[in-house]
Chains A and B, each alone.
Chain A
Amino acid sequence: MKTIKHILLFIKNIVVQVKRKWISLPLLFVFPIIAVGLVITIIASFFYPDEQQPIQIGIVDLDESDETQLVTDLIEESSQLGSYIQVHKMKEKEAQESIGNNEISAYIIFPNKFTKSLYQGHPVELPIVGNPKKQMDSLLIREIIESVSRHIRASQANILTINYFAKELGMNDEQRNELVFEQFKEFVFYTLGSNQIVNERDITNQATTSPFHYFGMGFWFICLSIWLFIIYNYLYTDSHLRMKQRVRLYGVTELQQIIARIIVSMISSLLFCGILFFSIDKLLDFELSVPDYSKGIMLTVLYSITLLGILAIIEVVIVSNKLRLLAQSIVLLMSLVVSGAIIPVIYYPQWLQGLVTYSFTYETFYWLIEMLLNNRIFIDFLPISIMASIAISTLVGISLWKERVID
């Protein structure tokens, strides 16, 4: 009873303090939205390349044989590589300058005697030079070139095979050379038509599985976590040893003050999150029912308790302010990375995916997505409830133990 009275007293105290610093409140609200919005935009723009500004690639033909000219012309003109890649033929010097001016992402060199070497069966190198300022583009290009060179390799083997059997069949040299060039062209076009192999089916019948919904939720979830972290630390006051002693004389424990801060941080974060959720919902329309809302709130509350409990444990254990903030930031960052809100968990290595399921952030985000995007009705509250109670009881245990040791 006394404990509750103390906690209420401290909550009141915190509210008075916050009123004095009210100017910084809007900042607390806006800051995570800006920061997280930026990250999400960056990541989304990475996955969805801007069609207006395709990746620019240079092709340098040092060989200038019929074959390479044919290939480079074809590559330059064809739209095979999709609308987000544009290929330009250029001289080597031009290509180097263009990289310097950040105009192209990479260039490929067909070296001198490229065709001749291929026909004669000598090894050839196809150098790709990337723009260090556009590393991600270069990565993508390299993947594509790998596929292209696999095509060339196969075609080369096939042409050599035809050459071999033509010899076996007793064809003369001139005829054979002509045949080989014919076949070369044939295979180039054959390769270009290779996308007929796959019959593509898009699965987009469900309106709510768009990436916007997924990342919209991710954005909301990260904002919630950052708010909890910032507000909790914003309410932290570095009281003097003498003040601490005085307060202790009234029978107030550090734990009660921490719980008061946890409650205030949670309520204000939930408020912020509510506002944010309604704005996102207006934009994306999750089509939620009333029970969905109550389940969502339940999940959010349990999650907030767990996160704040962990932050508070760190605060109790680490005395140094700098180190405490660092430890809390690292824990927050790690749990967010692991939650799948930034990058979907299925792309992680399997050993990590196994570990991730034990994370409370993953647990929360998983069920939120299941509920909102996949229309799951049943939600397993048990794991997150257990995690929340472990966090809180650990906090209580450590805090009481520490208080006893100090006394």
Chain B
Amino acid sequence: MIDIIKTRFIHWKKQRISLLFWLLFPMICTIFIIQLITAIQEDSQIPVGIVMEEDTVLANHLYAKIKNTPILRVVNVTETEAKQKVESHELDSAFVIQEDYEENIKKGKRNWLIKSYSSNLSFAFTPVKEMIISFVQEETGRSKTAHTVHDLSTDSEIKFSWEEVTKKAKNIQVEEDLLLTTFSFANTPNASKDPNITPVNTWGIWAVLSLLSTFLIFDWVIKERKSVLLLRYPFIRFSIKSFLLRNLLLYTMLLFFVDIITVILFHYVLNESLTLAGIGLLFMYRFMINLGAFLSGLMFHRLMSYYGFSFIITMFISILSGATVPIDGLTNRFPWIVIYNPLYSFLEQEWFNPWLLLLLLVVILWRIKGVKYNA
């Protein structure tokens, strides 16, 4: 084995820049992508049109509240513009603060204070609407309170004005902002007020990128089976199969070493958890994609076809695994997709990994039989 390592080192020395690039590529690229997506997500805004039909304190107050919501980009429009822009999908949706808004609230009415325009391309309509409703509801609720207090005081001499009651209610709400929601995922230790739930999954992106880089690193399987060099293998100490398998082991060690560095780096840079079980699953994943790349390499003789295959397989797995785009919608409908997902065990922390077993079985069969590859 020492001798195999020494021969491998001669190869690695020759391709150190290329090798280093592909070894570090998944790690660095993942960090870059995560930072990019986070930046975009933080700045992402839903364009919403607001039509002001009256210029009163309450209407302006509502407008300011909507405008101060970070996820919304408010565009001032007239009602006609609103309709037209929603139709051409320049705005996600539009809301009209209707005439007599303040007056109606003060009267204790709340039906149809706001008019909304949306189309079936208005993806964000429901959450935006719910939000605006809750803003309006705060005002109408206070007004309702004022009316309730007014009703209570009918028999009493003390009277409280509408303004007095709503001001008190507002103060109480500000002073005693008591209800907090916290969010956490099951099986994760700490809940937080503002958890970082992003639809992107760090390890998912890494898994896909490292799948690609592993396949590309494993082009040695093809290069070292070039027909000319095949003639040398009968006259060395190792059979070609054991030579290739030993190198597979060596590459697995190298790549797993880089994986460990990745885990540590992600822990400190991206706050990913660092557990022994995680590392165990990572090793299983590493071993699985190495076996996959190894076997794929054995199927090809032309480098270009192999590279093309690598990109295509990466693309399909990245789509179907849910590593890049969330596929909840798809797996809810077709649960069997999960079975065909080679990344499932790694991403969902399952110890049972049918793909690993299958690939291992194929490699063992190849070692025992598979005369086809034996020159």
Contact = CB atoms under 8 A, between A and B. Distances in A.
B67 to A, nearest CB: 15
Interface stretch (B139-147, B257-265, B286-294): B139-147
Given A129-B185, A161-B172, A165-B165, A156 B112 contact: no
Nearest to B98: A199
Interface stretch (A65-73, A188-196, A240-248, A295-303): A188-196
Contact of A210 (B18, B120, B141, B183): B120
B14 to A, nearest CB: 14
Contact of A42 (B158, B177, B327): B327
13 contacts: A39-B325, A44-B329, A131-B186, A147-B127, A147-B131, A147-B134, A154-B137, A154-B141, A168-B158, A194-B133, A199-B115, A203-B118, A348-B40
Interface stretch (A9-17, A46-54, A280-288): A46-54
A40 to B, nearest CB: 10
Closest 5 A/B residue pairs (Cβ)? A45-B329, A349-B43, A157-B173, A161-B169, A158-B145
A154 B191 contact: no
Contacts of B186: 96, 99-100, 129-132
Given A50-B332, A122-B178, A201 B116 contact: yes
B118 A131 contact: no
Contacts of B327: 42
Interface of B: 18, 21-22, 40, 42-47, 73, 83, 86-92, 95, 110-121, 123-124, 126-127, 129-134, 136-138, 140-142, 144-145, 148-149, 152-153, 156, 158, 160, 165, 168-170, 172-173, 176-188, 191, 197, 199, 201, 212, 216, 219, 303-304, 307-308, 311-312, 315-316, 319-320, 325-330, 332-333, 348
B113 A197 contact: yes
B134 A42 contact: no
Nearest to B121: A211
A183 B148 contact: yes
A161 B197 contact: no
Contacts of B178: 117-118, 121-124, 153, 156
Given A123-B180, A320-B18, A151 B134 contact: yes
A42 B325 contact: yes
Interface of A: 31, 35, 38-39, 41-47, 49-50, 53, 82, 96, 99-100, 117-118, 121-140, 142-147, 149-158, 160-162, 164-166, 168-171, 179, 183, 187, 190-191, 194-204, 206, 209-211, 214, 233-234, 236, 238, 320-323, 325-326, 329, 344, 346-352, 374
Nearest to A134: B328
Nearest to A376: B88
B296 to A, nearest CB: 15
Contact of B87 (A122, A206, A320): A206
Contacts of B219: 322
Contacts of B149: 161-162, 165
A169 B184 contact: no
Given A322-B219, A346-B92, A191 B179 contact: no
Given A35-B319, A151-B137, A162-B145, A46 B307 contact: no
A333 B303 CA distance: 23
